[in-house]
Structure 1
Amino acid sequence: MTNRRTLSALVLVLASTAFGATAPEPVVWPAPKDVPERVRAAGLEMLDSEAMDMHIHTTLKVYSGGRPVTVPADIGIDRSGPKPRYSPLHTHDTTGTLHVESEEWRDFTLGQFMTQWGVSTAQKKCRGDVAGRALAGDPSRIVLRDGETITLRCR
């Protein structure tokens, strides 16, 4: 009798998880308001338009305590003036797509993006992986590459 009750309880838990459970609410780490200052802090310059000599996309997925973090839109885009200005490293939406659009081909890092976002991977105690390969050390040193997915898992 006890085994049946245990089995029934387990089936109920599994069924509710599979069919009725909702995903955890995303964590919000807002985009900063001081875009030009954050871009300068990342060692980058604002551009009057999106440059296209270098144009790549990297996907960023972030988790905090196991819950997803939404990557905000407009990180690295200053819309305070009559015409938007762009960092060579920016987001347009909340999909986690990082746009690297530069006047020259060079390495851009996750650390530069996180600085623009105003989030410290060290303070958040993040570890990273690229394309499912766990990386040792500071994830802010990850170089952004076209088509790759970077996952940060933070506490």
Structure 2
Amino acid sequence: MRGLLVALVVASTAAAAVPAPRTTKAPWPRPRDALALARRAGFTPKTHEFFAYHVHAHLDVFVNGRQARVPPGIGIDIADPAVHRFPEPDGTVGYGGISPPCKHPCISPLHTHDPDGILHTESARAHPNRLGQFFTEWAVRLNRTCIGGYCRHVRFYVDGKPYRGDPRAITLTNLKDIVITVGRPPKPIPSRFPQ
């Protein structure tokens, strides 16, 4: 009985350490607890990337016509020495190129490498992910009416067309272009995966 009590205390302490979804306004930097958030999103972190199922979806977030950046390194333990860092054209740092594999799990099957909004699914089996899982990893609130701290005039688009369903349920298929706007949208609404 005592062992069960200790296990429950440890489990509840670990669960409490995972950050809650942020309800603040943009920007939303990469959260620190990448692997705990990946587990919360339903993923099992791995020691390296698998490419049996390899798809890229794209996410843009605009607040009053200005782009809110999707940061690099979401879903990646960037502190692991096996995770390579590389300079980005905008002066930020990208993450990935895990070789040799990490000694311990360091990457989620759903992650970002660069600040370009491309959501990478790289896994050992075909298993399409959903936008809600990505927002869980990013630790940003997302529902039908809110993104982060914005809960008015929020709209969703998939491949340039208005989307009125649950945005957390949007499947991240290859070359899908997802746009979330708050307030005044950009003109035109992006409708194609960036080349």
- Paired letter, 1:43: G
Give the CA RMSD over aligned residues.
1.5
Alignment of 1:75-154 (within 5 A): 75-84=74-83, 85-122=106-143, 123-124=146-147, 125=151, 126-154=154-182
**2:35·2:107 contact (CA, 8 Å) conserved in 1?**
no
- Per-residue Cα deviation, 1:70-106 (whole angstroms, up to 9, x for no partner): 0000000112233342100000010111110011101
Secondary structure of residue in 1 paired with 2:179: strand
Q: C-alpha distance in 1, partners of 2:55/2:34?
A: 21
C-alpha separation in 1, matches of 2:139 and 2:120: 17
Q: Distance in 1 between matches of 2:28 and 2:114?
A: 14
* Structure possessing the higher radius of gyration over alpha carbons: 1
Give the conservation status (yes or no) of the 8 Å contact 1:77–1:90.
yes
Count of aligned pairs between the two proteins: 129
Contact 1:47 1:86 (C-alpha < 8 Å) held by counterparts: yes
Superposition deviation, residue 152 in structure 1 = 1.0
Q: Is the 8 A contact 1:58 1:99 kept in 2?
A: yes
Give the secondary structure class of the aligned counterpart of 1:99. strand
Once residues 37 and 159 of structure 2 are traced to their aligned partners in structure 1, the CA distance between those partners, rounded to angstroms, is 28
How big is each residue's C-alpha offset from its partner over 1:109-149, in whole Å with a ceiling of 9 and x where there is no partner? Answer: 00001110011113424432110111112211100010111
Give SS of 1:128's match.
strand
Task: Tell me which residue corresponds to 1:33.
Answer: 32
- TM-score, length basis structure 1: 0.77
Q: Which runs of 5+ in 2 are unaligned?
A: 1-25, 84-105, 184-195
Scaled by the length of structure 2, the TM-score of the pair is 0.62
Gaps of 5+ in 1: 1-26
Of 123-132 and 138-147, the range deviating more from structure 2: 123-132
